A and B are shown apart, each in its own frame.
Chain A
C-alpha cells in the first residue's frame, strides 16, 4: 500500500532546510520567556523556597503529634511504675499501710507507724 503513497513533498515544511530552521527558530524565540520562567522556578534556591511552607507545616504537625505521644507515654509509665513499686514493697515485706503512704506521699501518723511495726512482728 505504501507504493501508492502520494508525493506531498511540495507541502513538506521541512523540505527547505533553511526555511524550516527559520520556522523552528521562530517558535523557540516565542517560547523563550516560558523556558526562562521554568528554568528559574526549577533553580535549587527556588525549589527550597517553594518547599519551605509545606516543610514548616509538616514539622508543626510532627511536633504536635510527638508532644501528644510523649505526654501519653509519660502518664502510662507513671501509672505502671506506681503499680510496680507497690507490688515490690509488699513483696519485700513492707507493710501495705506504709507502702501506700509512700506512694501517696503521705506521712503516716505515729499510731499508724506503731500499728505497722506491730504487723511486722
Chain B
C-alpha cells in the first residue's frame, strides 16, 4: 500500500512532515482523506461524524508520527488510528476541538436544489450502508469509493484477498436490494 503519486512516496512525505513541513502534511491529508473518510463512515454510519473523526485522526496521526515505525506503510498505520478514533468517537466528542464547518453551509447555500438532491441521496446511501456489517461497509467503501484493490483492503483489515472479495460481493448485493437498481442508476447520473 505504498503510495507514490507525483514522484513523492508516502515515506518521503512522512520524513518531511516529521521535520514540520506543512505542504507535505497537506499532501498526505489530500492523498488519504477519502480512505480515512471511508473507514470512519463505515464505523459511524454518519458523514458529518466521519468528517469530524477524520479531522481528529489526521491531527492525532501527526502528533504520533514518530510512532510510525514503517513510513512505507503509513496508510495502514493511519487507518488504524482512524478506526480507533471512530470507535472512541462518542467518548471523545466532549473534548473534541474541531472547528465548526461553517464553510460547508456557505458553499452549499450557493446551489440549494442540487444540494437538497445530493443530501437526499446521501441520506439514502448512509441508511442503506447502515444495514451492512461493519466489515462489509469498510470493504465496499474502500473499494467502490476510494478505489483500493482487494489485496490492499485485505491487508488493512487483516483479511485474505478472497475474504475481501466475498465481503464486497455480499455488500453490493445487499445494497442493490435495499436501494434498488433504479436508485443506484439515478445516483450515477447525478
Contact = CB atoms under 8 A, between A and B. Distances in A.
B125 A23 contact: no
B45 to A, nearest CB: 11
Interface string B150-190: 00000000000000010011001001100000001001101
A8 B55 contact: no
Contacts of B168: 1
A50 interface: no
Interface of B: 17-22, 25-26, 29-30, 33-34, 37, 41, 47, 51, 54-55, 58-59, 62-63, 97-99, 101, 103-104, 107-108, 118, 121-122, 125-126, 140-141, 143-145, 165, 168-169, 172, 175-176, 184, 187-188, 190
30 contacts: A6-B144, A6-B184, A8-B125, A8-B141, A8-B144, A9-B188, A9-B190, A10-B121, A11-B125, A11-B126, A13-B34, A22-B101, A22-B103, A22-B104, A22-B107, A23-B101, A24-B33, A26-B98, A27-B55, A28-B25, A28-B29, A30-B59, A35-B17, A35-B22, A38-B18, A38-B19, A38-B20, A39-B20, A39-B21, A41-B20
